[in-house]
Structure formats: structure tokens, C-alpha cells
Amino acid sequence: MIDSIAHLTIRRPDDWHLHLRDADVLRAVLPDTVSQFARAIIMPNLQPPITTTEQARAYRERILAALAPGEAGRVPAFEPLMTLYLTDHTQADEIRVAQTSGLIYGVKLYPAGATTHSAAGVTDLLGRCASVLEVMQALEMPLLVHGEVTDPQVDLFDREAVFIDRVMIPLRRAYPALKVVFEHLTTREGVQYVRDAQGPVAATITAHHLLYNRNALFQGGLRPHWYCLPVLKREVHRQALLEAASSGHSRFFLGTDSAPHPRGAKEQDCGCAGCYTARHAMALYATAFDSVGRLDQLEAFASLNGPAFYGLSPNSDMLSLERVDDLVPQQLAMGSDVLVPLAAGTSLPWRICAA
């Protein structure tokens, strides 16, 4: 019986949405991802953002240089899949350079002001970025979308659903062959849109949106470490996401959106958005899939559907998890600072086996 298994071995997964930051923070958080994932789509929202292939190439070198040798002195195999940050001023030629480089796997749309470090984002996608979108469609360069409107008149909890009507549908009508990833999907409406849409559309789903609903933000008081964007939604949405992720449907795949912030930046009167999940990522996802008896679908979601969408081969080596209670530490070191991981102080029923 799948629900009584104590071990699970799957092809090594990839993380299709990850924030690594830079310098000390990069060096502190990278081992958490590398211990589980072979590749990751690296988000470009540094300050200043990564808007050119040359900047992405240099950032990729810094990531590779930060890979620490493991036991036996070997540097672990890890491939950072770089992205560019789309702005109102991105040129179509930059997309051609990106494609030719072979290093860039997507271009990220942050609606200006939607989330952490998005001030340089796009103000009017169809109005300002037409020539770029045209070239992306022709070159099959994926557009990775933070799918929330920023209109202050729209309720925070409705911003993804409204984005579908105001941006996603017109965008895909204008560019029907454009590859689009609806990043960190959070709603039933989003699931339905991605399932039913014509053409090359997919979505990433985080572990936190599979495990928690918005009550987690207010459990016994204000809980800043559960605050991310898009924000956690109602239970009906969590259930729709869990059903989609564990259905085996090829359009849904793993993207942690793990986003490190120092403890003090989250525990203050205007705390940052972002949950740190990289250290326990696969344990969190296994816990979510196990909760609905669908561990048999974890491999498709974590290791197969993402590479298929991006036109890459699945990894050839394996990752094992075991059903053993594992306490999430209260905090983790991050350079000269500390960060608080999601679910700190609680016990998860799964952990990865030592390599």
C-alpha cells in the first residue's frame, strides 16, 4: 500500500522557481537546494535586477563559484538555469542574445510593484513589450509570469483571478504560441485556467500553497514567516492546487519560490514577502502529497513535468526520502544574519535520505 510506505525513491527533482540572492546569502542558502535538486530556474530579482544576458552570465558564474565542495572534496553537480528580468525597456535584440547564449531559460514578468524587488518591472505588458513578446514567441523563449494585478482597487486575495482576465487572456490571444509559465499558482481559478488553456501553458506550485491556507497567517497572532506573494488563499484554493499537483497532469510542476529574507526584515512593522522553504523542500512536498495518498505522483510533479515543458531531459540519478519525523530548526544561519524557515519548530513526517 502506497500510504504505508516508509521509503520513496524518485528521479532527482528540479526546482523551477527559486530565489538565491547573491554574495553571503547565496553562499548560505545554495547548499539547501543542491542537496535535493539538480537544476533550478534562478529568479532575476536582485538589486539591481538581472536584465541582460551578460549580467545573467556573471550571476551564473557567482552561483557556480559558491558551490561548496562536499564530503570527499567533490563539488556537487548543479545547473543554474538563468532568467532575465523583463522591463518596459527590454529590447528584442536582448532576447536574441539570450537565446543564442544557451544560458537563459526564461524571461520573468514582474508587474511593477507586485512583490519583493519588482519596482523595475513592467507597467503595461501588451503596450510596452510587444516586440519582445513577438521575438520570444518565435524563439520559444518562455515567459515566466508573476500573475497578479497591482491595481490597489482590487482586493489582495483576488489579484490572481483578476490577472487572468485582464492580462493572461489578452496576452495569450495576441501571442498564442508563446510559452508561458504561470508562476506560483495560488487559486482554483488559476488551476482551471491552466488546465483548460490552449497552447503551451504550464504552472509552478509551491509547497507552502499546497500545505497551508490563509489561516496560517493568523494562527494565534500575526505570523510573518507565512507571508509571501501571492499570499496564501482560502482552503478551497489549497485543495484545488493539491488536486492539480497530485493529478499527474503534465502542466503542473514544482517551483518552491523559496525566498530568503533575514529574520529582522520579516519581523517588523512592514515585513517582506517571501517564505524560506529550500532546506526542507522535498520533505514539505512529500508531506503534502502523502496527505492525499498520492506519493505515487510526486515524481511526475517534481522530476518529469518541468523538464518536459522546458525541453530538457529528466535527471538520470535518484533522490530518496524516508518517513522519519524531522524537526525544522527555529532558525538557520545566513551569513552574518539568521533566517527563519517555514514551519520552524514543527516536525515534518518525511526527510531526504543522506546521499
Cβ proximity to Zn ion, 10 vs 46, nearer residue:
46
Cβ proximity to ligand NCD, 13 vs 121, nearer residue:
121
According to DSSP, the residues that pair with 252 across neighbouring strands are 203
Cβ proximity to Zn ion, 94 vs 257, nearer residue:
257
Which three three-digit cell numbers place residue 55?
549580467
Rounded least distance, CB 318 to ligand NCD, Å:
29
Q: Give 268: exposed, middle or buried? Use CB within 10 Å, 0-12, 13-18, 19+.
A: exposed
Cβ proximity to Zn ion, 15 vs 257, nearer residue:
257
Say how many residues touch Zn ion, by CB under 5 A: 1
Task: Pick what 319 binds: Zn ion, ligand NCD, none; C-beta below 5 to 8 Å, kind-dependent.
Answer: none
Task: Pick what 228 binds: ligand NCD, Zn ion, none; C-beta below 5 to 8 Å, kind-dependent.
Answer: ligand NCD
Which three three-digit cell numbers place residue 297?
505522483
Active site residue 257: yes
Cβ proximity to Zn ion, 241 vs 295, nearer residue:
241
Binding mask of the shown chain, residues 270 to 289, with x at each position contacting ligand NCD by CB under 6 A: ---xx---------------
> Applying CB under 5 A, does 257 fall inside the site for Zn ion?
yes
Q: Which of 115, 133, 136, 135 is nearest to 124 (CA)?
A: 133
Q: Which of 36, 116, 137, 305 lies at the binding interface for ligand NCD (CB under 6 A)?
A: 116
According to DSSP, the residues that pair with 111 across neighbouring strands are 122
Cβ proximity to Zn ion, 115 vs 297, nearer residue:
115
Rounded least distance, CB 211 to Zn ion, Å:
17
Q: Which of 32, 257, 299, 322 lies at the binding interface for ligand NCD (CB under 6 A)?
A: 257
According to DSSP, the residues that pair with 327 across neighbouring strands are 347
Taking a C-beta distance cutoff of 8 angstroms, is the pair 179, 140 a contact? Answer: yes
Q: Which stretch binds Zn ion (CB under 5 A): 28-36, 219-227, 255-263, 309-317?
A: 255-263
Query: Position of cell 522553504?
Result: 277
Which three three-digit cell numbers place residue 114?
507586485
Task: Pick what 115 binds: ligand NCD, Zn ion, none; C-beta below 5 to 8 Å, kind-dependent.
Answer: ligand NCD
Selecting among 14, 15, 32, 257, the annotated active-site residue is 257
Q: How far is CA 260 from CA 30, 240, 264, in A?
A: 11, 27, 12
- Which residues ranging from 186 to 245 are in contact with ligand NCD (CB under 6 A)? 228-229
Rounded least distance, CB 222 to ligand NCD, Å:
16
Task: Pick what 10 binds: ligand NCD, Zn ion, none; C-beta below 5 to 8 Å, kind-dependent.
Answer: none
Binding mask of the shown chain, residues 75 to 114, with x at each position contacting ligand NCD by CB under 6 A: ----------------------------------------
Site residues (vs Zn ion, CB under 5 A) = 257
Catalytic residues: 257
